Structure 1
Amino acid sequence: MANPTQSVAVALTDGSFVTLTIFSESDVDASLQLIDAAEAAENGEAPLQLMEGFSYEYQIEGNYRLQEVPKIVTPSRANISSGRITPNIYVGSLILDVLDKDTSVNKGSITIEVRSIKTSYRQDYRFMLEDITEKCTDLLMQYTSPVSQHFTVDFNRDPQTLYQRFAFVKSLIESSDFKEAVHRIVSSPVTSWAEKEEEGDIRRARRINNATMRQFITSSSRLELPATHPLHCRLASVPAKLRIRSKHETVDTPENRFIKHALTSFTQFCTEIRIQFSEDSRAYQEVVHLEEVLENFLSHSVLKDVSPPVSLNLNSPVLQRKEGYREVLRAWLMFDMAAKLIWKGGDDVYSAGKRDVATLYEYWLFFTLLDTFKELFKVEPSTLEKLIKPTADGLGLQLKAGKFIPFQGIFDAGGRKLRVQFSYNRTFRGDQPYPSGGSWTKAMRPDYTLSIWPEGIKRNDAEEQELITHVHFDAKYKVSHLTEIIGDNNLDLSKEKEEQRKGNYKREDLLKMHAYRDAIRRTGGAYILYPGSQLFNKSGFHEIIPGLGAFPVSPSRDKNGISELKAFISEIINQILNRASQKEQLSYRTYNIHKDGPSDILQESIPERYGNERTPPPNDVHVLVGYFKDANHLNWINQQQLYNARIDSDRGSLHLGPSEAGARYLLLHTKAQLTTGEIWRIKENGPRVFSKEAMIKRNYPNPSQHFYLVYEIEKVSAIEFENMKWDIRLLKKHNKGRGSALPFAVSLTELMKAKV
């Protein structure tokens, strides 16, 4: 298959033309196209279209060359009239200057469109900009500060700011809802009955009323009646003409006058803003196209018969309720606000003619997630104070990539109150020592972070006490299919490394989610949001978090994936509300382990297994240090495989605490015995209470107490304790003299430090 090639004529400033030929280095037909001029004008694009991610060679005839654009247009060293074009991830209008090869004087320019690899990017771009506009203007309508009433659009300001404002207005007018609303109005306009008075021949009179009778007497232009006329005896003459009133249906109603006024206002805005742009710019072409759309609306026969409004009756039931009219009313109200809105972040999306749909997707997801979290957590964050602020030249939307914006609220679930924070562009610093929050290594900044911790605890304290959970989301518009994120299960890892050396990191996004989850402390999960269709979610252990994955969230009204994302976040909420969850236990254990600083060092040989299970950490294994009275008592212990301790309130009884009750080993010693190797394993059943009678049945020598606490024991079989002895004087709880007979428990770590 031949690689696509296109040639176009470039108009120079002297009126002549020069041919530019572009060759695609790929055999994909869609990588290089020349679309119809009408289609290009409708979409505000250039007819010659490249595609992001592809590479091209070019050749311009004559004594000319193209201006070098760093990282995009690179002239050839062998022939400066040719070279390569590599758009990479750039999307939008690419204006290339044509220079004289010898003098480098500008001789003209050509605009080339770089399209997104996603076929739906036109629709996505329009929808997202329209949706952001709608959400912003909703916020503006709620903005109650009096300062908002004094802003006017200054058309002499920075053209880039004007284009940003125009982009908002354009998204309103070009929306399918607005176009359908105007179509409904002109197809079925509101009408009213009006009286019309006109002069007519007296013979056309049908009804005679008081006004008609007065004209018979007072009219000046009259006709003599013949003598033979029946009325001659009463009237000598009658009027030649009568002013006759009739009713007719008209579209010239207050509501239709408002519609015409709204469309005229939009048109005037476009006309005033158009003169600020150069005729060869994308902005100029877009304004012209929008003017044509509005002129077509105004030229409809229905609106031609509508007069200008004397007043605007915005409380009209027709404007507020009737389909078509209510949509135009809302657009007109939004238009006034949108024209005053300043959005510096818009420069990232459409500055210098580009259409960065990926960045727009990131902004659109911000509003989508904010609405989702407000709904799920039933909280109303101080949105207006943070997102819309008055500036010197308008109302500023404080949304820009890289700028940290947090929103907080309290979620009351009945049994537990949680503090919820949704953050955009939160940076987790890498220079904070544990247990502070942040990253283990370098600073990291996910696009969106949901942080949840118990109400009543400060965020920093929640971090240090392992009570906070972070869930991260990253926007990835360029990803179309799940395999682009997780790769193929049958992937040859050696081939993947080869691709990485070439610069093709196919699983980079997945690895980034791993980095967020593992590097940012107290992270419960990290997830990719992309405009696809397949869900991918991997959970750790038996609960929804910790985990990582990808959720499809598409820019559309229906089947956009938001419901699945809401269900997932609801599961996270339920898990955090569950005080008996594995995550709750894990966070408590983690805090409890690390709160006291560095742990003890134990490199002695200890059993690897306890019964059929793994031996717990030695700090969690307790050893009961018990006393036997004499040889008879020791013989009874050996025969019965029982160990007894007094449980009365007298001296020498056992103080039963968690360590004593849960002890796993028993170390025996007797009077004046300071070093012992008499170690037993306590069976898992734990201690029981035996009566004096029960002890007599088991041949216990001389029982003196009514009740005893009895442990079932067995000889230790583990070779790790073989031939070991311990000096009980080195144990902190050991008492001298008569107190040495008191049973007590120590950790296995402490016991091993007393090893002889």
Structure 2
Amino acid sequence: MINIKRLLIKWPNSFYELEIDFLNGKEGERVSVPLDYVYNAITEKDDKSIGYSPAIGIRLDKEGVYYPIQLRENTNYFISVTIPFTFELEAKLIDYLNGFPFTNLRLSSNFKVSPIKTWKEDIRDNQKFIIITGSLQTKNQVGILDLSLGERENLFCEVASSKINYQEDFQLLLTDIAKESTEILLQMGNLTGLNLDVQNEREADYLIMMFHLRSLFNADELPLALSTVLNNMHSKIVNENEIVDISLVKQPNIHKMASQGTTLPFNKGGVLASLFNGYTPIKMFETNKYETVDTPENRYIKHFLTEVESLCKKLFIQLQGKASKEKTNEIVFNSNLKELDGWLNIIHQYLSEPIWNQIQQLNHIPSNSQVLQKRKGYRQILQYDLRLQLGLKLAWHPSMVLEQTLADVRPIYELYEIWCFIKLRKICIDIFGAEKENTIIKVEKDLFSINLKKGRESKVVFKKNYEDKVVTATLFYNKEFQKHSYKSEMSYSLALKPDCSIKLVLDNKEGSVETFIHFDAKYRIDFFESNNKLISKNEDIIKMHAYKDAIRGSSGAYVLYPGTEESLYFQFHNRAIPSVGAFPLRTDNDIDLERIKCFIEKIIDEIETNQKC
């Protein structure tokens, strides 16, 4: 990543110019950038944004999901646009709009153009130009920003999160959601006894295939299992019987000679005449023992690898066609193609191992093999194969939220919100056991879908019997609390919709008591340079107060964010509730999950205590 202070864009065969300047930065050196539309780039000197994404960055080693030019959320930029003066331009100035001169009308809320009287004129080669200035504020939006000035003057930038490694998080979130979604759907398929055979003729949607393959190629899945197999490959001892000249025999097979010796040629007399009724065999049976890796189990592994390779190649060709036809989603398809290319390289690397040359083609599946069922590496690959086959046959489609997210202008926020819900579901399973009711899975005519659309109430219900109480927990996704006096689950002011809410109902001999706790996923941070701490934003904590205070029956509301610091504010210093705060929830940290789990368990204990008070 190259940190840039000022960037000048000139398009080939166009007189238009666009300059983007981060005014708070210090100007460094001019650098050469291998992008044909970047005319001039000045680096940022003494960059203080350690821990943050750069204000203006150029990423030359990434293609697909992210555009080369990157801006940063919640950052101000000075914009200068140079446009040839024409009659068409003069007509536009009469109906002057705030978003002018960009073609993207949605920029009106982000771009504030300077008054017309501040614009400058310039004469170049007898051509009159207008220089328009203004300020661009990216606000808290992350994703694709269209800064195009015309049909030929296209420019798309990636507005990055302040969190410096959000690109890596994006892939981790997608992988984890794919894996968890697959597991949920397979669990439901087993529970409902769905007849999968009817779907054999159906061509799996490319998004379904990408979801399963993304889960399969996670570093802790197939690559780890294959490495385990190759480091400790199953082998067997083979006894091979040969007929060899008597002068070459070293270890004759006496039992074979006794049972089948009459089939061999003999000469009358000879050194062994006393053993064979006056005759000596010209040739004898000999058994050689050797170790081989050409076992049914290894043939199965080889077959599975070639099948996965074939699936990836087929999908690659399919997506290449889609990328050439559907230009609006070209960046999405290019991202998927890059992933597929990486997966094909992984498969090719494993299949190029010389040891596979010793292993023949599979002629039957050793389904009852104890090696496949119990041996490390082999057992995992058998599970992946079953999961992949079942998943591709299952008639389901990914959530529309997930599908739209891949081409949405704010992908990381949407993914993080869904991912947080999935993690809260896992926490609830750890606390309460298996779910009793699930409405996030929708089944219509054997079609499975994960129903996590915004604005629709989706819930998972859990129930646990303790020695002295019964606790029912309902985890909601995007539940709306409206202003209705006749509803118990309501907001007394404005309609509020936390990302995730948990309704806890405790029943014991004292009676019944219930409360809500809420969680809001916020993929953003504040940064303390002095100690490298990543904390939640103050405005997010303020919003948690709104949830706790406005939604009837709420005892707590908490931010989930990809930072490092847990911050909790208790109304009473010795009680977990009522409270608001923020919990770190990062893609690579299981400790975060354990902290949230322990806090929810503490709240359950305090509900009973409050009931007795």
TM-score where L is the length of structure 2: 0.71
Q: Output one character per residue of 1:143-175: Cα deviation in whole Å (capped at 9) or x when no partner.
A: 333435136478867xxx523540332232133
Q: Which residue pairs with 1:448 in the alignment?
A: 500
Q: Which whole-Å deviations, capped at 9, do the CAs of 1:389-421 have from their partners, x for residues lacking one?
A: 334584212223333112334443443434432
The offset of 1:439, in angstroms, is 0.9
Is 1:410–1:455's contact at 8 Å kept on the other side of the alignment? no
Q: How far does residue 506 in structure 1 lie from its aligned partner after superposition?
A: 5.6
Larger Rg: 1
**Which of 524, 531, 540 does residue 478 from structure 1 map onto?**
524
Given the superposition, is the C-alpha separation of residues 31 and 276 from structure 1 closer, same or farther in structure 2, using an over 3 Å criterion?
A: farther
Does residue 364 (structure 1) correspond to residue 419 (structure 2)? The answer is: yes
1:437 and 2:489 correspond? yes
For the 8 Å contact 1:71–1:86, the answer to whether it is kept is no
Q: Distance in 2 between matches of 1:295 and 1:60?
A: 50
Structure 2 counterpart SS, 1:442:
coil
| Matches of 1:449 and 1:390, distance apart in 2 | 24
Cα deviation digits, residues 84-138 of structure 1 (max 9, x gap): 998766656789999765xx9xxxx888665543233344334333333333333
Aligned residue among 167, 179, 199 for 2:223: 179
Q: Distance in 1 between matches of 2:388 and 2:145?
A: 30
Counterpart-to-counterpart distance in 2, 1:287 and 1:59 = 39
8 Å contact kept, 2:294–2:360: yes
Q: Give the structure 2 partner of residue 574 of structure 1.
A: 605
Is residue 439–residue 520 contact of structure 1 (8 Å, CA) maintained in 2? yes
Equivalent residues in 2 for 1:141-290 (5 A)?
Answer: 141-142=186-187, 143-144=189-190, 145-150=192-197, 152=199, 162-196=206-240, 203-209=247-253, 211=256, 239=282, 245-277=287-319, 278=323, 281-290=334-343
Cα distance in structure 1, aligned partners of 2:537 and 2:430: 35
Contact 1:482 1:534 in 2 (8 A): no
Work out the CA distance in 1 between the residues paired with 2:436 and 2:361. 43
Structure 1 residue 333 corresponds to structure 2 residue 386: yes
Residue equivalent to 2:567: 536
Residues 677-717 of structure 1: CA deviation (Å, up to 9, x unaligned): xxxxxxxxxxxxxxxxxxxxxxxxxxxxxxxxxxxxxxxxx
Q: Report matched runs for 1:505-544 at 5 Å.
A: 507-541=538-572, 543-544=575-576
What's the counterpart of residue 347 of structure 1?
Answer: 402
Is the alpha carbon distance of 1:6 and 1:187 closer, same or farther for their aligned partners in structure 2, counting shifts above 3 Å?
farther
Task: Decide whether aligned partners of structure 1 residues 355 and 25 sit closer, same or farther in structure 2, where only a CA change above 3 A counts.
Answer: farther
Q: Is the 8 A contact 1:19 1:61 kept in 2?
A: no
- Give the whole-Å Cα distance in 2 for the aligned partners of 1:337 and 1:75: 53
Match of 1:468 in 2: 514
Distance across 2 between alignment mates of 1:177 and 1:335? 12
Instruction: Tell me the alpha carbon deviations over residues 187-209 of structure 1, each in whole angstroms, 9 at most, x when there is no partner.
Output: 22111122445676653221334
Could you say if the C-alpha distance between residues 83 and 262 of structure 1 is closer, same or farther in structure 2, counting changes exceeding 3 Å? farther
Corresponding residue to 1:546 among 574, 578, 593: 578
Q: 1:453 to 1:113 in 2, by over 3 A?
A: closer
- Which of 398, 410, 415 aligns to 2:468? It is 415
Distance 1:288 1:113, change over 3 A: farther
| Deviation digits for residues 560-590 of structure 1 (CA, Å, limit 9, x no counterpart) | x2222222222211121125655xxxxxxxx
**Distance change in 2, residues 1:319/1:114 (3 Å):** farther
The alpha-carbon distance between structure 1 residues 75 and 414, as it changes in their structure 2 partners (threshold 3 A), is: closer
Letter in 1 for 2:225: A
Distance 1:183 1:549, change over 3 A: same
CA distance in 1, matches of 2:4, 2:450: 49
Aligned with 1:50 (options 70, 80, 85): 70
1:94 and 1:111 in contact (8 A); partners too: yes
Give the deviation of 1:324 after TM superposition.
1.6
Distance 1:205 1:185 in 2: 37
Query: Residue 524 of structure 1: CA displacement?
Result: 1.0
C-alpha distance 219-140 of structure 1, shift in aligned 2 (>3 A): same
> Which position in structure 1 is the counterpart of 2:367?
314
* Matched residues, number: 528
Shift of residue 334, structure 1, vs aligned partner: 2.3
State the alpha-carbon separation in 2 of the partners of residues 217 and 362 from structure 1.
Answer: 79
8 Å contact from structure 1 (residues 18, 60) kept in 2 = no
* Alignment of 1:131 onto 2:172: no
Correspondence 1:121 to 2:121: no
State the SS of the aligned residue for 1:472: strand
Q: Aligned with 1:532: secondary structure? A: coil
1:396 and 2:416 aligned: no
The C-alpha deviation readout for 1:626-676, integer Å capped at 9, x for no partner, is xxxxxxxxxxxxxxxxxxxxxxxxxxxxxxxxxxxxxxxxxxxxxxxxxxx
Which one has more relative contact order, counting CA pairs under 8 Å at least 6 apart? 2
Check 1:47–1:133 CA distance in 2 against 1; reply closer, same or farther (3 A cut). closer
Q: State the 1:528 CA deviation.
A: 0.9
**Separation in structure 1 between the aligned mates of residue 132 and residue 309 of structure 2, nearest angstrom:** 44
Map 1:10-29; keep pairs closer than 5 Å: 18-21=36-39
Aligned AA (2:70): L
Alpha-carbon separation, structure 2, partners of 1:24 and 1:258:
56
Q: Which one-letter code corresponds to 2:431 in the other structure? A: L
Residues 148 and 390, structure 1, Cα contact 8 Å, conserved in 2: no
Structure 1 residue 382 corresponds to structure 2 residue 426: no
C-alpha RMSD of matched pairs (Å): 4.8
Check whether the contact 1:35–1:49 (CA below 8 A) recurs between aligned residues.
Answer: yes
Closer, same or farther in 2 for the Cα pair 1:235/1:405, shift >3 Å? same
1:200-221 deviation digits (Å, cap 9, x = unpaired): 665322133455689987567x
Secondary structure of the structure 1 residue equivalent to 2:453:
coil
Q: What is the TM-score normalised by the length of structure 1?
A: 0.59
Q: 1:415 aligns to what SS in structure 2? A: coil
1:406 aligns with 2:466: no
Identity of aligned residues (%): 24
Aligned to 1:492: none
* Cα separation, 1, equivalents of 2:80 and 2:339: 28
Relative to structure 1, is the Cα distance of residues 447 and 24 closer, same or farther in structure 2, using a 3 angstrom cutoff? Answer: farther
Contact 2:534–2:563 (CA<8 Å) still a contact in 1?
Answer: no
Q: Conserved in 2, the CA contact under 8 Å of 1:282 and 1:353?
A: no
1:426 is displaced (CA, Å) by 1.0
Residue in 2 that maps onto 1:589: none
Tell me, what secondary structure is at the counterpart of 1:564? helix
Q: How far apart are 1:75 and its partner, in Å?
A: 13
Amino acid at match of 2:234: V
Distance 1:506 1:328 in 2: 44
In 2, the alpha carbon distance for the partners of 1:217 and 1:379 equals: 69
Aligned residues of 2:297 and 2:372 also touching (Cα < 8 A)? yes
1:3 aligns with 2:5: yes
Tell me the distance in 2 between the aligned counterparts of 1:353 and 1:267.
30
Q: 1:276 Cα shift? A: 2.2
CA distance in 1, matches of 2:336, 2:80: 26
> Which residue of 1 is the match for residue 347 of structure 2?
294
CA shift for structure 1 position 362: 1.4
Q: 1:193 to 1:488 in 2, by over 3 A?
A: closer
